[in-house]
């Protein structure tokens, strides 16, 4: 029986390699995206506890639950419900995480997923307290990844976030409600990809 030549074997192996499925950029953790752009929209839930300095200058324990929709893991609406010694507080605003797209598009990725995701984690939220009164607030936070993105799981982070509501003159004589409020939380941030057209392929 005639044995195949080395050239024929090389052509055969080349055809197999060409026809074999290859991992896309979205499926690779070395592309600098770490699957963060595998879907256009992500839904996140945040839960944790911390401390709040209320309108009567009393520091007390506080819990916080939040839901957020993030587009390209960079911006989107966010709503926070907090419970402390002064009762329930509802906040709504726009969360912005500008370092995510900027860090990747400027080709600053280190190739180490946890370090890059930590660098991209800082976020700002600007909005209004919706209950029990309307007041401007701002919020800042950053986080460290506990679980990296995998399939529908968009990641699990541990975040530290600070929220501030400046003093409001219109309410300063209303039982102390107009005083500045400071809140500090440690939150678990769980994000799920909602689907849509993958952008990292």
Contact, 199 vs 76, CB < 8 A? no
Q: Answer yes or no: is 200 within a domain.
A: no
pLDDT tens for residues 42-76?
A: 999 999 999 998 666 677 899 999 999 999 888 99
Q: Answer yes or no: is 91 within a domain.
A: yes
CATH of the domain at 142: 2.40.160
Q: Answer yes or no: is 99 within a domain.
A: yes
Domain tally, the chain = 1
Q: Answer yes or no: is 201 within a domain.
A: no
Q: Answer yes or no: is 155 within a domain.
A: yes
3-class secondary structure, 119: helix
pLDDT tens for residues 78-98?
A: 999 999 877 899 999 999 998
Q: Answer yes or no: is 84 within a domain.
A: yes
Q: What is the pLDDT of residue 137?
A: 94
Residue 133 burial (10 A CB sphere; 0-12, 13-18, 19+): middle
Go through 9-33 and write b for each residue having 16 or more CB atoms within 10 A of its CB, e for each that does not.
eeeeeeeeeeeeeeeebbeeeebbb
Contact, 127 vs 89, CB < 8 A? no
What is the percent of the chain with per-residue pLDDT over 70, rounded to a whole number?
Answer: 74
pLDDT tens for residues 11-50?
A: 444 443 444 344 343 334 555 678 777 778 899 999 999 9
> Whose CA is closest to 82, among 170, 172, 163?
163
Residues for the chain: how many in total? Answer: 201
Q: Answer yes or no: is 198 within a domain.
A: no
d(CA 125, CA 140): 6
Q: Which domain holds residue 161?
A: 6-193
d(CA 45, CA 128): 19
DSSP strand E in the chain: where? 41-53, 59-71, 75-84, 87-96, 123-131, 135-147, 153-165, 181-193
Q: Answer yes or no: is 199 within a domain.
A: no
User: What's the predicted TM-score (pTM) here?
Assistant: 0.75
> Whose CA is closest to 185, among 83, 54, 63, 81?
63
What is the percent of the chain with per-residue pLDDT over 90, rounded to a whole number?
Answer: 42
């Amino acid at each position: 029986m005639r044995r195949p030549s080395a050239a024929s074997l090389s052509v055969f192996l080349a055809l197999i390699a060409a026809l074999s499925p290859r991992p896309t950029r979205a499926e690779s953790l070395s592309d600098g995206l770490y699957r963060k752009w595998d879907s256009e929209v992500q839904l996140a839930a945040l839960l944790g506890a911390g401390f709040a300095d209320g309108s009567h200058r009393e520091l007390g324990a506080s819990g916080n639950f939040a839901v957020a929709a993030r587009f390209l893991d960079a911006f989107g609406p966010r709503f926070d419900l907090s419970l402390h010694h002064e009762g329930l507080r509802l906040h709504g605003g726009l969360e912005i995480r500008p370092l995510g797209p900027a860090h990747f598009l400027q080709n600053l990725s280190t190739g180490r997923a946890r370090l890059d995701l930590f660098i991209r984690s800082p976020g700002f939220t600007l909005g209004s307290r919706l209950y029990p009164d309307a007041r401007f607030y701002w919020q800042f936070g950053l986080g460290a990844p506990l679980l990296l993105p995998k399939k529908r799981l968009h990641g699990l982070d541990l975040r530290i976030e600070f929220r501030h509501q400046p003093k409001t003159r219109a309410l300063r004589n209303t039982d102390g409600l107009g005083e500045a409020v400071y809140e500090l939380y440690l939150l678990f941030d769980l994000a799920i990809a909602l689907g849509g057209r993958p952008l990292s392929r």
